[in-house]
Amino acid sequence: MTAPTKWGILLYRAYTPLDVFGPIAALEVLGRQYHTDMSFIAETLDPVTTRPQMAAMNKLNSTTFVEKLIPTYTFNTAPSDLEVLLIPGGAGSRAPDLNSTLAFVKETFPKIKYLITVCTGSLVASRAGVLDGKRATTNKMAWASVVPTNPKVYWVPHARWTADGNIWTSSGVSAGIDATLAFIACFYGQDMAEYIAK
């Protein structure tokens, strides 16, 4: 198996920071040993924040949602040679206005080699229809709200992460780091994964 080097990180409003930055931290260390390209992809090139769209998701009106990422590509300009697409979870995965995001995932999935979801990123992939007939997992605290949304997925309740063909899914936010390390071990070797973990 050829190790993939071209990664796309999907961004949408109200993603969970650790879902993105945990795997990125592992990939940054990998990039010191192997050439790796990373693209941040969103609907527009506007900064993407972790701030929830709805006031009900921020009842105390906290200002701790400061994480912003600047996308490098839009859905229309994303690289055509992506090999891996990583979908983070977060409150935004439940947003009713993700139509363009879901369309991008559905259109991109057949062109990539691997899909990795973190936390409720599996909900985004499920809503896009790319998990149908596959084993997958998701955040255990969101289990009751995610699993009923798609009975065509074989949801695995007691998994930190799953791999089914070219689809890797992980449960809670820190499990995304574990899944990324397992993915790296698969393609770059266990020694490299352990080196990154240390």
Q: How far apart are CA 96 and CA 143, in angstroms?
A: 19
- 145 has a pLDDT exceeding 90: yes
Question: Domains (ranges, CATH) in the chain?
Answer: 6-116+174-197 (3.40.50.880)
Rounded to an integer, the average pLDDT of 136-161 is 97
Q: How far apart are CA 166 and CA 69, in angstroms?
A: 27
Structure confidence at residue 11 (pLDDT): 96
Query: pLDDT band for position 50 (50/70/90)?
Result: confident
Bridge partners of residue 49, in order along the sequence:
68
What's the pLDDT tens digit per position in 75-129?
999 999 999 999 999 989 999 999 999 999 999 999 999 999 999 999 999 999 9
- 163 has a pLDDT exceeding 90: yes
Structure confidence at residue 15 (pLDDT): 87
Q: How far apart are CA 73 and CA 128, in angstroms?
A: 20
Rounded to an integer, the average pLDDT of 171-183 is 96
Q: How far apart are CA 81 and CA 29, in angstroms?
A: 22
